[in-house]
Amino acid sequence: MQDKKRLVITGGGSGLGRALALRWAQQGAAICVTDKDAESAARVAEEVVQAGGESFCVQADVTSEADWLTVLEQVQQHWDGADLLINNAGVATAGDFETETMEQWQWILNINLLGVVRGCQTFAPLFKKQGQGQIINISSQAGITHLPSMGSYNAVKAAVIAFSETLRMELAADNIQVSVVCPSFFRTNLDQSMRTAQPHFKVKVGRYFDRATLSAEQVADYVYKSAQTDAFIVLPHKEGRKAWYMKRFLPNLRYINMMLKMTRRKKR
């Protein structure tokens, strides 16, 4: 049975956004691919059609409220409604906290957190009017397991989880399902957008991506299957699920000491 849902995916021109678009396309979904890069968005929209879905693209920057209104207008013109918003667009930062400037904090905050907030504020009224809808916010394992030298990235991803939980409570009565996805490292191009004042971190993170156990397509498949359920926190990685359970159930001091030992070994 095909899934004829109408989706809006931010950051859909590459990486996980592209993989999500193509995964839903396999079920015959209609997808609005948005991306800051117009060429990438157009290319993925064509791939969606080739994969069996329907698609159109909109050039949009998640930091622009005007762009979000354009996306909403285009969606209403094409479909007169929507079923699912995936807030996927994001960037990366790294570095010891003394090296992270306020400009770097504001940059990632504006994209990774406020971009999600803008998307939800734009589409929630439409979902309420329809009497149904679904929101999937892409966070990260970094929002749960806070490794050193990733202060701003950890903080905004944790905020996305907290915001998503708040939305789940607020929108439940309106028949709007909210979930948050927290993947660990997977093979993608996120490191290309990374900002850091310490270049060795970009090399280090790039190696983590290269060694990742899952591909963007595997993560997208896990997200698709979870979207058919009422799951809230979606953890595609086995090691991520293990870390989440340890943090939840181990005594706090034991967990912190265990993480300190692990990070010291990695530094050595």
Residues annotated as catalytic (active site), given as ranges:
153
**8 Å CB contact between 26 and 1:** no
Give the count of beta carbons closer than 10 Å to the beta carbon of residue 156: 26
First-to-last alpha carbon distance for the chain, in angstroms, is 52
Beta strands in 20-154, from DSSP E residues, in sequence order: 30-35, 54-59, 84-87, 133-138
Q: How far apart are CA 13 and CA 40, in angstroms?
A: 5
Q: How many CA atoms does the CB half-sphere of 19 hold within 13 Å?
A: 19
Beta strands in 115-167, from DSSP E residues, in sequence order: 133-138
**8 Å CB contact between 106 and 195:** no
